[in-house]
Structure 1
Amino acid sequence: MDDYLDESEDDLLAELGFPDKEIGCRGLWNLHLNGKWYRCYRPEGQITPPHDELTLSTLRTIKHLCDKSNNLEGWEAVPFSSPIHRDLNYIYTVDIDADTFTISLWNELSAPSAVQMNLTKIHEISRINLDMMRKPQYMLSDYTCVSNKAQAKQFETFEIDFGIPTPMNELQERFFTDLAFVWRFYLDDPSTWRYDSPVFRVFCVAFLRLAAWDFEVSFDCNVCNVELPISFASIPLWSYPDADVYWFHGYLVILQDDLEPTAMINGAVSTAKSYVGDSRLSHDDVCLIVISPRHLVFVELSREVALASRGLVLLSNYSGTECSPGFRALARVLTSNCWRKPRAHREKWPVHMPLEVVQMILHELEPRDAVAFSQASFAAEECYYASESQLKNVDVQSFESSIPCCGERTGVTGLQTRGIRCSECYAWQHLECLGPKNYSFDYRYVCMDCEDKACMVPKPGGIHGNRGFGKREGCEVRAEGLVQSLELRLRKPSPPQLPPELQFLGKLVSNVPSHIQYTILFNNSFSGLAYGLDDSC
C-alpha cells in the first residue's frame, strides 16, 4: 500500500474540507453502543485524519470498536454525542447500534455538515474510500426558511398582551442570549439540535428555567467550581425531564418535532387531552407551552375548544446577540399573569402574613431556598417575580435588550401611552425615539430590525456566524451604590503577569483581573453562565 496520497486525492480532500496533514488535525470520537454514548479525545484534541494512509489509525480504531466493543478502556461515558466545534476539524461518530460511521466537518459555507457511511462496509475494507466522501450528505442541515406567521387553520387564534418589560425580564433576555452564545456549538449542529436528541430536552428545560427565573445564583467566588472556558469538551450536565410531556410552573409543556405543520399542533392538543384527562378539562382550562427546535406556540385548551397563538421563533440565527421573540414571550408568560388568570383566590396555603414579610423572607433566603419558597404559595410567587430576588442589591439601570431604542424605562406609564411594541419581536420603542415618520397606529408596527430579517429560522452554524465580534455588551446595573456593568465572563480570572524586570512595579499597576461574582446554576449544576461587575463606561 502506498504511504502517500496522489495529487487527485489531495485535491479531493481539500474540496471536502479536510485540513492539510502537515498543519495538524483536531477532533474527538463519539461511540454509541447498547443505547449509551461514550467519547474519547486527547487533551489538546489531536486526532489522526481519516485519510492518513501511513498509520491507518482511524480505520484500525473503527475495526477495534466493532470487534472488541466490550473493551472501552479510555472511553468516557457521556449523556449524548458531542457536536462539531469551531476548534475542531471533525468529529468521528461510530454508531454500532445503527451500523453507521459519521464524519462531521465544516462545509464550504462554514456550516456543520456530515458524511455518513455504512459501518459494516468500512469494517470489511482495507482503507477508507475517498469516493465515499465525494458527495457529503449535509444531514439534517437543510432547514427550510418558512414564515413564523404560519398558523394552524383549525384553531381559533388569540393574542397575549405581554405588557411592559420588567427589570427581571431585561436580565432574563440577557441570560438567554448569553446561554445561546456560550453553548452555540450544540445549538448550531443539526446532529444534536433536533427533536429526537437529548440535547433538545436539555436546553428546553434551560430556556424554561431562565424564563421562569427558576435557577440559583451562587455568590461563591471559588472559581475552581466553575468550568470555564466552555470548550469542545464541555457538556451541559444539568438535569432535565426525560419525557415529551411534563408540568412546569402550572403549565403543561409539550415537546414537538415542528410547529409549522397543522398536524403538529393537532398532535400536541391530542397529547395534552390524553395526558390530563377529560375530568380535569371539565373543571379547568389547561395552558400549554408547545416547543419545537425552531418555534413555540401557546395553546389554551378547554373541553370544548382549543385556542392557539401564532408560532413564535424560539431560536434564531441571531440568538447569540439578540433575544428571540419566542423566549421574550415565554419569560413574560412565566413571570406574570399576562396570560394565566390571577390565582390568589385559589390560595390553599394556611399561613397568612403581610406581603412585606414575604418580601423580607425572600430577600434573606439562600437562592435555592428562595426558588422553593416562591412555589409554596401564589402570594409568595407574586412577590418573587416582583423583584430580582436572586441578585440581591442589584438594580437594572438600562434596558438595551427589551427597549432597544434608548434603553430607558423611566416612567412606565409614559411607555404605555407614548410607546409602541413591535408585533414581531415584542421589543418596545419610544415614539419620541422613532419619530412620527417611522410608525403609524393604523397597522401592526414592525420594527426596522425585524423588517431587515426576512428569515429568523436557524441555519446550521447560524448562531456562530452572527455572534458579533469584540467584547459582548454588558447590562448597566446599580450595585453597592455604584453604577456598574454586569458582564458575562468567558474565562476564569487570572492574576496580571508582568515581565520579570517589571515585577517590582506590581503594586503600582492597577490591572485588576476580571473577577467572577455570580454564577447561575440549574439544580446545583453550572449553566455555563458566570458574571462579574466592571466599572461602567
Structure 2
Amino acid sequence: MGTRGLWNLRSAGKWYRLHEQRSRIRSPNEPETVRRIKSIIASLNNLEEWESVSFPSPLQSNLDYVYTIDVDAGTLTITRWESLDGMLQPFPGQIPLSCLDGSHGLTLDQLTRFPGEVSEPEDRRAPTTPQVVLDQLLIHPEPPTTLNELQFRISRDFCFIWRFFIDDPMTWRYPSMAFNTIAIGLLRIAAWDLEVSSDSQIDYPENRVNFPYWGAPQTDIFWFHRYLVVLHGNINTKTSISAAISKAQFFLEVSHRDAAHLIILSLQHVAFVEISSKSVLCSQILPFLVNMSARQCSPGFRLLSYVLTSSCWKPSLARREHLGVGFPPETLDLILRSCSPKSALTLSQSSFIFQEQYYSTIPQIQHFTLRSFKHSVPCCGKKNRLRENWVYCPSCYACRHAECAGVRSEPEADSQVICFDCKDGKLCTELVPGGINHITRRFSGEDCEVSVAGSPKILRIRFWKPSHLCPELRLLGNLVTIPPRLINFTIRFNGAFAGVAYGLDDS
C-alpha cells in the first residue's frame, strides 16, 4: 500500500479538504509534491472536488501525511508521525508558500522548518492583563445520578472517536474552530442537550477519516444553559485565568449585567467563576481533557456534568416557583416524554420542578436503566445507599460510599475525603500531542451493563455499520461467525451525528 494522506486548504477565509481515497499521496521528499501544491494554488477557482469544512482536519492513524495549504496566511504545514520517547505524535512543520516559488527541484523535506518555528498561538502573544483579585469558590456536588453515569461513559466514547482532533497540536492553537466544536460537543453531553435517535442510517466515512459536522459557536464567549461560557487558550496560571475573567467582565459590562456564573474552558482545563458586583470567586482549576479521557472521566468533566445537571451551583428557582397543586413524578415524567427532545430541554430550563425531574431520569430513552456505575461510583460501581452515606474527593470530585472510603462514622453532608488515587498521585492530569491515541490505540470499547424493560442487556459502542450493510463481510462466507452489530441509539447535536452510536446485545 502506498502512502496515504489528506489535503487541507484555506482560501478567501474558507476551509476545504480533499481526501483521495483510492490514490496514494506523495511524500514530502518527492519533487512531485511541490508541483502538486503549486497546481492546487493555481486552481483556486476550481475546487469542485474539495469538501467545504469549518476547520482543517488533523493527522489520523490511517494517514501518513496531512498537507495544510493556507493561502490566506501564506504558509504550508506538513504534519507527519514522529516517535518521541516511544510514543507516536503528530509532528507539524511549516514553511512560507513563497519558498516554493524558487524551489527549483527541491523537495519539501529540504525546505521544511520544524515545530519550534511554527508560529505560536495568538493567546500566548496577547498583551498582559491586570490580575483579578480572586476569592475561593467551593462547589459541593450532589450524589451522582444514573444520567451522570451515562454522561461519563458517552464523554469517554466521544473523546475516543474524536481523539485525533484533540491530540492534534493545531487544535490547541487558540483561537480554533476545532476547539470550539469539541468544546460545545462536551458541553452538550454534560448538560444532556442532545438527541438520542433510533435512526441507524449513519454514513460512516470510508477509511474512517471522520469530521465533526455539528454546529459550534463562532465566538469565544456565549451563553449556555444560563452560564456564561468563556473559551480561552490557557487557564492554568493566575495571569491566564485573570485574562479570561477580564474578557467576561467586559462582555457583561457591554451587556449591562454585573453578575454571572462562568464556565471557563481551555482544551486542557476548566474553571468555574462567580462574578458579582462585590467580588469574584474562582474554583480550583481542574483537568478537563487529559491523556486518559477516552478511558475514564476527568475531574473537570465530572464537575461540569454535576453543575449542569443539578442545583449544586446555580441560583435556586424553587423560591420563585409556586404551583397551586403538586404534581407526582409520574405526571411530570409523562409530560416530559410527550415533548420533543428540544421542547423537553426548554421546559426543564424554565422550571425548577421540571428540571429536577428531567435530570433524575434518562430523558429520551424509555424503560432503560444502568446496572453498573463504575465511572460515577468508582469505589465499587454500586449506586445503592449512595444518597444517604457518601463522601466525595475534593481533588477529582469522584463520589464514594463512606465505608468504601474508610469512613467509619456516618459522614456529614458535603463530607470530603481525598481518594487513594489522588493521594498516591495516580490521577492523570496531562494532555500531550498524540496522548489519547497512544493510551487507547488498542481500545475496542467497554461493555456497559444495562436493563431494557427489565431485561439484562449489554450496551456497546459501534464503530462500523451493521453487518448486513457491509458487503465486504459477505466475502468471509461461513468461515467465521459475524455478529449483527445492530445500531439502537445514536447521539446527535441538533440533528447532526456526534460520532457516537450504540447497540444493545444480549447479556
TM-score if structure 1 supplies the norm length? 0.83
State the distance in 2 between where 1:52 and 1:387 align. Answer: 58
AA aligned opposite 2:94: Q
Q: CA deviation at 1:511?
A: 5.5
- The whole-number CA distance in structure 1 between the counterparts of 2:168 and 2:381 is 33
Deviations 1:388-413 (A, max 9, x none): 11221111211011112210011124
Matches within 5 A, 1:330-369: 330-347=304-321, 355-369=329-343
Residues 1:275 and 2:251 are matched in the alignment: yes
Counterpart contact for 1:514–1:532, Cα < 8 Å: yes
Change (3 A) 1:380 1:27: same
What aligned pairs does 1:327-476 form with structure 2 within 5 A after superposition? 327-347=301-321, 355-416=329-390, 420-433=391-404, 445-448=418-421, 451-453=424-426, 456-467=429-440, 469-476=442-449
Cα deviation 1:25-48 (Å, max 9, x = unaligned): 000111111111111121246211
- Tell me, yes or no, if the aligned pair for 2:133 and 2:280 is still in contact at 8 Å: no
Partners of 1:350 and 1:191 lie apart in 2 by 55
2:67 pairs with 1:89: no
- Which has the higher mean CA deviation after the structures are superposed, 343-352 or 186-195? 343-352
Q: Which has the larger radius of gyration?
A: 1
Q: Does the CA contact (< 8 Å) of 2:235 and 2:244 recur in 1?
A: no
Unaligned runs of 5+ in 1: 1-22, 143-151, 504-508
CA distance 1:464–1:351, change in 2 (3 Å): farther
Residue 275 of structure 2, aligned match among 297, 301, 310? 301
Residue matched to 1:194: 173
* Partner AA of 1:292 in structure 2: S
Q: CA deviation at 1:443?
A: 8.8
Q: Secondary structure, in 3 states, of the residue corresponding to 2:252?
A: helix
Where in structure 2 are there 5+ consecutive unaligned residues? 122-130
Distance 1:178 1:232, change over 3 A: same
Letter in 1 for 2:369: D
Identity %: 38
User: 1:407 is paired with a residue of what secondary structure?
Assistant: coil
CA separation of 1:45 and 1:165: change in aligned 2, threshold 3 A: farther
One-letter amino acid of the counterpart of residue 83, structure 2: E
* 1:39 alignment partner in structure 2: 17
Post-superposition CA distance 1:428-453 (Å, at most 9, x none): 3335445589xx99995133267344
Kept in 1: contact 2:10–2:69 (CA 8 A): yes
1:180 matched to 2:159 = yes
8 Å CA contact 2:227–2:263 kept in 1: the answer is yes
Distance (Å, rounded) in 1 between the aligned partners of 2:246 and 2:476: 71
Contact 1:396/1:476 (8 A) holds in 2: yes
Of 222, 247, 254, 1:246 maps to 222
Distance 1:275 1:361 in 2: 37
Partner of 1:145: none
Correspondence for 2:231: 255
Pair 86,450 (structure 1): closer, same or farther in 2 beyond 3 Å? farther
**How many residue pairs end up in the alignment?**
487
Task: Measure how far apart 1:94 and its partner are.
Answer: 1.0
Residue 520 (structure 1) aligned with residue 496 (structure 2): no
Alignment of 1:18-57 (within 5 A): 24-44=2-22, 46-53=24-31, 56=32
Residue 73 of structure 2 is matched in structure 1 by 98
2:450 partner SS: strand
Give 1:49-128 correspondences, 5 Å limit: 49-53=27-31, 56=32, 58-109=33-84, 110-126=88-104, 127-128=106-107
CA positional deviation for 1:516:
0.6
User: Could you say what the CA RMSD is over the residues aligned between the two structures, in angstroms?
Assistant: 3.1
Q: 1:436–1:348: structure 2 CA closer, same or farther, 3 Å change rule?
A: closer
Q: Which moved more, 1:238-247 or 1:261-270?
A: 261-270
What is the match of residue 464 of structure 2? 491
| TM-score relative to the length of structure 2 | 0.88
Cα separation, partners in 2 of 1:351 and 1:32, compared to 1, 3 Å: farther
Match of 1:264 among 237, 240, 253: 240
TM-superposed deviation, 1:466: 1.1
